Amino acid sequence: MNDQQKRNGIFNKVWQACDTFRGVIDPAQYKDYILTMLFVKYLSDIHKSKTAEYEKKYKGDPVRIQRALGRERFIIPEIEIRDTDGNTEDSFPATFDSLFERRGKTNIGELINILLEHLEDANKGKLHNVFRNIDFNSEANLGQARQRNTRLKNLLEDLANLDLRPEAVGHMDIIGDVYEYLIARFAATAGKKAGEFYTPAEVSETLARLVAPGPGDRISDPACGSGSLLIRTARQVGSDDFSLFGQEMNGSTWALCKMNMFLHNMDSSWIEWEDTIRNPLLLENDSLMKFDVVVANPPFSLDKWGQEIAANDRYGRFFRGIPPKSKGDWAFILHMLASAAEGKGRVGVVVPHGVLFRGGQEGKIREAVIRENLLDGVIGLPQNLFYGTGIPAALMIFDKSRKPGGKGEVLFIDASREYEQNTNQNRLREEDIEKIVDTFRNRKTVEKYSSLASYAEIEENEFNLNIPRYVDTFEPEPEVDIPAAQKEIEQIEAELFKTRAKMDQYLRELGF
């Protein structure tokens, strides 16, 4: 069985487990239960494999086995359940198999919560608070006791058939890939909420290639969602010589990101749970931490983004101007620019097209950024690429290695017409991504596709970055041959006259 077949097999089994929750709770919510339990299964199977390895290596010596297990990436603690008198009622290791053995218990939801709590406490450096936003004993989400117990029993039975041990799966990237694929499928069914936790893989891939991270880079995403964009950007490095940092405001999405990082062997990443604009937590010496690469797909035109704190922002992020209260796009961009390392930092951000041309305070901020020579490129994407919205978006690339205050060119690419059209959602094909990246890296001017705009041209357009101002995609209407068209009309009229005459004849024969 090849790697893709293994991926498909794992995915299909997990996707079948989703039937337990379909129609019961919102897809944006039941992803938390499925993916958390898959994560527990992964930890348990790795632990089982390591235990067998050390039992063989140390010939069953329990002390040496436990000592070796204590040095692993995670710890599986023992759980002891006591009654009201303090007597031991039950004890078991915090593994999936322990839950499976107790799947018929009437308090199975409570037992799962206890297990998650013990896993957190035993692995505080990596899992602190990760499971605190999910309740497997929730009547509001999972129904009353009998229904809830049945659903959780079915979930445990569905996942019990998975074998996630390294010797069964092969290289562990397979598990990470399946996890990413599952998140994407959940996003496809989550409607407008999908954008809160997932950026389509093709968009993430394109942005990751455009910012081109290198060995040793610090990479950050201040609106990291489930972490897919961060992971894809890290993979562009081509080695493990990078460090990842992220911040996410939504608690359950932050937890998903932490688990996603763990499954991709990136559990040393620094992922914070807070509002990036109001309370940035990626700090160093009480100042914003600086990064070689900053990427993000922030919420489009976020209302009430934190304008009330901008004027007195202790980190000085809004000296170019304060974005309007109802549109936080430039607030995120300004934060990203402030977080990018001076003289070398690269920034890539997904934005709605309004960011390119809206006036008022946004126009003043845009002008200031262009006058500082920070903007490197603008790429227009096809419509209907994103889950939960059909509007087209654009990518903006900034580069702090450009000469400060210089009047450099900006590359505009209109990639809006090159994509694969699907029933529910369009997608960028590999050749579309390759064309965008090649055009950008080589600063190509391609007719009806891309154009290098001078500073003078942008200034003449009053710093409006609307792509059609720079990339002419106009297709002239084909010339009409008037004599030929007139002749065709005459032929059609003659045929119509004959048809009407026949129709009149038929009607007379029928007595009408």
- Whether residue 265 sits in one domain with residue 380: yes
**Which amino acid makes up residue 230?**
L
Q: Which own/partner contact pairs does 282-285 have at CB distance under 8 Å and 24+ positions apart? A: 282/220, 282/222, 282/245, 282/247, 282/339
The token pair at 230 is 């961060």
pLDDT at residue 117, rounded to an integer: 96
Let me know whether 416 and 455 are in one domain.
yes
Rounded Cα gap, residues 370 and 461, in angstroms: 12
Q: Which of 130, 155, 188 is the last residue of a domain?
A: 188
Mean pLDDT of the chain: 90
Does the pLDDT value for residue 264 go beyond 60?
yes
Is residue 419 situated within a structural domain? yes
Last residue of a domain, one of 123, 158, 188: 188
253/218 same-domain check:
yes
In a domain, 29, yes or no: yes
Q: Final residue of a domain: which of 188, 215, 245?
A: 188
pLDDT surpassing 60 at residue 173: yes
pLDDT tens-digit series, residues 338-366: 999 999 999 999 999 999 999 999 999 99
Token representation of residue 92:
């078991």
pLDDT for position 196: 61
**Per-residue model confidence as pLDDT tens digits over 205-220:** 999 999 999 999 999 9
pLDDT at 452 over 90: yes
Do 394 and 501 belong to one domain? no
Looking at residue 129, its amino acid is N
Q: Which residue has the higher pLDDT, 219 or 421?
A: 219
Q: What is the 3-state secondary structure (H, E, C) of 99-134?
A: HHHCCCCCCHHHHHHHHHHHHHHHCHHHHCCCCCCC
Q: How confident is residue 9, by pLDDT bands cut at 50, 70 and 90?
A: confident
Model confidence at 302: pLDDT above 80: yes
Same structural domain, 420 and 507: no
Q: Note the pLDDT of residue 193.
A: 59
Among 5-14, 246-255, 430-439, name the one with the lowest average pLDDT.
Answer: 5-14
Residues 445 and 296 grouped into a single domain: yes
Q: Which amino acid is at 190?
A: A
Check pLDDT > 90 for residue 432: yes
Confidence of residue 172 (pLDDT cuts 50, 70, 90): low
Res 512: pLDDT: 65
Question: 169 versus 173: which is more confidently predicted?
Answer: 169
Question: What confidence category does residue 477 fall into, taking pLDDT thresholds of 50, 70 and 90?
Answer: low
Mean pLDDT comparison of 135-139, 180-184, 334-338, highest-scoring range:
334-338
Assess if residue 426 is contained within a domain.
Answer: yes
CATH code where residue 95 lies: 1.20.1260.30
Q: Region 2-28: what's the mean pLDDT?
A: 79
Rounded Cα distance, 370 and 9, in Å = 50
pLDDT band at 18 (very low <50, low <70, confident <90, very high): confident
CATH number of domain containing 445:
3.40.50.150
Query: Is 218 within the bounds of a domain?
Result: yes
Q: Are residues 412 and 494 in the same domain?
A: no
**Contact predicate 148/110, CB 8 Å:** no
The answer to the question of residue 94 being in a domain is yes
Mean pLDDT of all residues in 114-123: 95
| Residue 165 neighbours by CB under 8 Å, 6+ apart | 45, 46, 48, 49
Residue 196 sits in the same domain as residue 181 = no
Burial (CB count within 10 angstroms: exposed 0-12, middle 13-18, buried 19+), residue 15: middle
Q: What is the mean pLDDT of residues 366-385?
A: 96
pLDDT of residue 140: 86
In a domain, 367, yes or no: yes
Helix H or strand E encompassing 158: helix 145-160
Which tokens in the block code for residue 70? Answer: 């204590």
pLDDT band at 22 (very low <50, low <70, confident <90, very high): confident
The beta strands (E) that lie in 199-297 are given as: 217-221, 242-248, 270-273, 283-284, 287-288, 293-296
- Dist. CA 221–CA 72, nearest whole Å: 28
The token pair that represents 172 in the structure block:
């562990």
- The 3-state DSSP class for residue 387 equals coil
Closest CA to 79 of 36, 116, 123: 116
In a domain, 61, yes or no: yes
Is residue 352 helix, strand or coil?
A: strand
pLDDT of residue 387: 74
310, part of any domain: yes
Which residue type does 183 have?
I
Q: How far is CA 86 from the centre of its chain?
A: 46
Listed range (266-275, 377-386, 473-482) with the worst mean pLDDT: 473-482
DSSP letter (8 states) at residue 246: E
pLDDT at 28 over 80: no
Distance CA 504, CA 502 (A): 5
Q: Are residues 408 and 307 part of one domain?
A: yes
Residue position matching structure tokens 């891309």 = 450
**What's the rounded Cα separation, in Å, for the pair 396 and 403?**
18
Considering the domain architecture, whether residues 140 and 286 belong to the same structural domain is answered as no
- Are the beta carbons of 458 and 378 closer than 8 angstroms? no
Q: What distance in Å separates the CA atoms of residue 205 and residue 228, rounded to the nearest whole number?
A: 9
d(CA 339, CA 316): 11
Examine the domain organization and report whether 257 and 300 are in the same domain: yes
Q: How far is CA 395 from CA 171, 197, 291, 297, 487, in A?
A: 33, 18, 19, 9, 50
Confidence of residue 150 (pLDDT cuts 50, 70, 90): very high
Q: Which pTM was predicted?
A: 0.87
Candidate from 109-123, 164-178, 360-374 with smallest mean pLDDT: 164-178
pLDDT score of 219 = 98
Residues 6+ apart with CB under 8 A from 227: 221, 246, 256, 257, 260, 261, 271
CA–CA gap between residue 230 and residue 232 (Å, rounded): 6
Q: Is the pLDDT of residue 5 over 80?
A: yes
The answer to whether residues 167 and 211 belong to one domain is no
Q: Which residue range forms the structural domain that includes residue 334?
A: 191-469
Q: How many domains does the chain have?
A: 3
